[in-house]
Amino acid sequence: MKFFVDTADTAEIKSLAASGLLDGVTTNPSLMAKTGKKFQDVLADICATVPGPVSAEVASTEFDGMLAEARVLRGIAKNIAVKVPLTPDGLRACRRLSEEGAMVNVTLCFSPAQAILAAKAGATFVSPFIGRLDDVGEDGMQLIRDIVTIFGNYDYFKTQVLVASVRNPMHVVEAAKAGGHICTVPPAVLRQLFNHPLTDKGLAAFLADWSKTGQRIA
């Protein structure tokens, strides 16, 4: 499974990228607004930090506007993945952009039927939002299982399942068990994956025993 981080905070991205665990970044208009900076500058900085795909979302809701904005976004860096909503105009834009060689992330997916449409439109990634489904009493993880099963039935579907709206480490684990290709997670959740009390306990014991020897390795 690949890890994308879901943020536009360049300091967080640089810190996580230094770990070698980061495969890409996803942003959206809400995350970009929080930076208080010019979005082109933020995206350029992110793309220079992370060589993998960096999702940047269009703000237009109609076809021509999406294409115009996509041209601007693609001009920022070669690793930009244009993010479009799962709407008729969004899928039409996805098809056109995919034919032009762009990476496209179709976002706001909430059903297997929508995921099929995204794959048919040539999406590089489709982003099912599991946490938001859980919030309304549905089973977000079942959506991932369904999409992975469906995509596995057709060799010509090349779209990757980018698990989004991830709220906790178990979402990541369950998505990996279900066969999701990518998880995009907030920085805090990505860091939580390191944590286990037995790791902390074991390390403390090892260090205490080593200290008693009075030796140094270097």
Active site residues: 83
For 58, phi then psi, to 5°, come to -75, 155
Sign of CA dihedral 77, 81, 48, 7: positive
* Distance, CA of 47 to CA of 42 (rounded, Å): 9
Beta partners for residue 108, in sequence order: none
For 217, half-sphere exposure in the C-beta direction (CA atoms, 13 angstrom radius) is 3
What distances in angstroms separate CA 160 from CA 35, 67, 72, one per listed residue? 28, 22, 24
Length of the chain: 218
- 8 Å CB contact between 148 and 178: yes
What secondary structure does DSSP assign to 64-107, as a single string? HHHHHHHHHHHTT-TTEEEEEESSHHHHHHHHHHHHTT-EEEEE
What three-state secondary structure class fits 24? Answer: strand
